[in-house]
Structure 1
């Protein structure tokens, strides 16, 4: 706080108190003599003017303190418009004090009931989530954070502790380089695709120059014997060479069509798949796995099971992938509420549990048509994706 602000506030406060007290001092010490009704006017005027001056001085102090706080002044405007995600957390009361526009649009931390805890859970590596808000200086390179759309964001993370009005704070800044990472990933995938195509071309070239060419040479040689008449052995050998040639041609066609056959295998119908799981890391993993198989899938994710139930009352899902162990309620109670609310749906229990009792218990619910152990695998995906 600047000394001039305190000075103005003290002058205003002192003047207001003086105006409040002056009518009583003048009358008690009999410095001036007035009639009774005049004294009443002086007292009311003194009380009113003194009170207003005290009030204005207090408002002035509060306004200037706000301008100099975390949310006030030009510094806050600059903070809010930074092109990187920035958060300010209070370590004393474990609350989010500030987050800029970029952080709110990408991660939405401020919209959650417990932003402090939610921020710690946004890291793919849980150890970093536990350390990032411990009040120490940290620098992490190429950390994976999960945004509000359950997409991985590759960031460099910096934490800077400081003190504001005797409160311990920590500023966290994330420098996002996800686009660069995605570009490198695309280059890697392209390189792998080219390597696969080169292998196919080498296999094609080998079969063409050795297997097919040798069988064709045999057939041509046998045909040259036509002038002298083809014997039974020659005819048999000719037939065998023709069959081998046909086999090689079919194999070549298989090599050339291999990519097209694979693309046809993953053609899927449009489906709406709902995930109910408090683990956002699993949401991110499942989203990436399924969209690689079929980009037309509509994936809806819920960390809060109550929000999932409200959504299911108004919308239809083809498949519901339900976790068993969640903090708000377990999967069994979720299934009970589905029955009570008349929600229909094909439910697959998606869980890390290996307990046989869970498998048996899932059979007590008519909605449950499968039990899938995390993580999702190709054979598991085939259980609920419509071909």
Structure 2
């Protein structure tokens, strides 16, 4: 095993590995921005740590390393005052590493505690939203939908059923807003890019739906054909069957889901490229992850990225002449 493997669990931080002569034999610097307050210069393999660690820390650091070679370990957190800037919170972990007789080393890991603290705050906030705000509309939807099974429902007129469905829809919209909020929270600083697709698809008379959810396919089929009776719409809940269909058929447009168990949307897009099948594709997905939208733009066949639920207004420019 490589000695650096002992520090791989700290891959998102900086680490140094010293031998008995206090010489550095391995290191990784994750970020020099805040580590600069701890180091006087960049380290070099083979030189003693006293050459690059800030002089005001050399004495105490040397004493701790010496104790580590005797089998002790240390976890020290220190707040550094920086003029005109936010205090830097650094955590230094010193651990003895014994790989064999006469093979003794000390691993020093520098952890950015500010980043760690911010991550914990983010997780706490995310957990609160998920366990409290998210649960409320879900339980309301479950309660409202369960009413559809009551025997009394048979005697309700259309207006009462519409009222019930309106209540369910309102709770679903609240749920959707909370999920979007959670996504924004976890993707702070990463803006959702507008899809840089090509021009509107023209004269899409033959449309293929590929989604493992058969209910989604039926709803999309209904939306498309309700106002476009001249459209030929074929639907597949198994991507492999859709690929077989493409051997002898050439639809004008494919509406493709991403999250499918047998073959996900990304694998389906790669299969189109490998088979040199040139058909315009529009992603229809429930995801609101900005990274997924950016990834979709790497496929030439993908012309747009729409977020579920699909509405007639969303697809009018895709299926109309």
Structure number having the greater helix percentage: 1
Q: Whose Rg is larger?
A: 1
TM tier relative to shorter chain: 0.3 to 0.5
The normalised TM-score by structure 1 is 0.31
